[in-house]
Amino acid sequence: MFSLQRLVGGDSIFFELLDKSAEEARESVQILVKLLAAPSAGALDDFALLRKKDKRITEEISERLTTTFVTPLEREDIEALSTALYKIPKTLEKFGERLLVCPERIRRTDFSRQAELLEKAADLVLTMTRELRNSPDLEKVKEQNDRLQYLEGEADKLMVELLHALYSGEKDPISVIALKDLYDLLEKVIDRCRDAGNILFHIVLKNS
């Protein structure tokens, strides 16, 4: 039998769970930075544990959406944001797995510029998510989302630059394939952050 409090959604549990998911997304970027500094199988364990933890958060949000009569935001918006946040650590875990498949071929590759963009993007997503419960100012959220769009645009420019160097003929074909795969995954994480920002802006716009 469900409690009346859960039925009417009188608490802030959805905001708390979304905050936790955004924090896990930010932590996954921090694990990435450590992995790039010192590649090791231990980082994969960290990614796996974090993703499983975030999956439980996502599942709890989904469960509560089916058992709560009144929610603080529209159900589809909560679900969309939850899914977007979960995809960040999930994609970074894939990157970590691929990175360690052939470490000898990417040993001299510098991923620091992508990591810097990711850190900024994840910070923005976390900030926007934490502020959601306080009915943030629409213009402020728009400015934050515009910054996310800018970071995504910078990542696109960097991708073109990296591909130009990758296809110059200086690297062997296997290294080209491996690096192209890794570049694509990091760009996809930036896209995930952008998607989360768009959803957050849409939510605030709808409720302003």
Residues 64 and 14: beta-carbon distance below 8 Å: yes
Residues 102 and 162: beta-carbon distance below 8 Å: no
Task: Record the pTM.
Answer: 0.90
Domain ranges of the chain: 4-207
Instruction: Please tell me the predicted confidence (pLDDT) of residue 38.
Output: 85
User: Rounded to a whole number, what is the distance in angstroms from the first to the last CA of the chain?
Assistant: 35
- How is residue 134 written in tokens? 């306080």
Rounded CA separation 72/63 (Å)? 15
Supply angle C-alpha 68, 71, 77, rounded to 5.
115
Averaged over successive runs of 10 residues, the pLDDT of the chain (208 residues) comes to 38 91 97 89 88 95 91 93 96 93 81 96 97 92 97 96 91 90 96 97 92
Instruction: Please tell me the predicted confidence (pLDDT) of residue 9.
Output: 45
Rounded CA separation 203/144 (Å)? 14
- How is residue 177 written in tokens? 């394939």
Instruction: Please tell me the predicted confidence (pLDDT) of residue 1.
Output: 30
Rounded CA separation 146/143 (Å)? 5
- The architecture of the domain spanning 4-207 is Up-down Bundle (1.20)
Helical packing angle, 41-67 and 13-37, nearest 10°: 170
Instruction: Please tell me the predicted confidence (pLDDT) of residue 8.
Output: 39
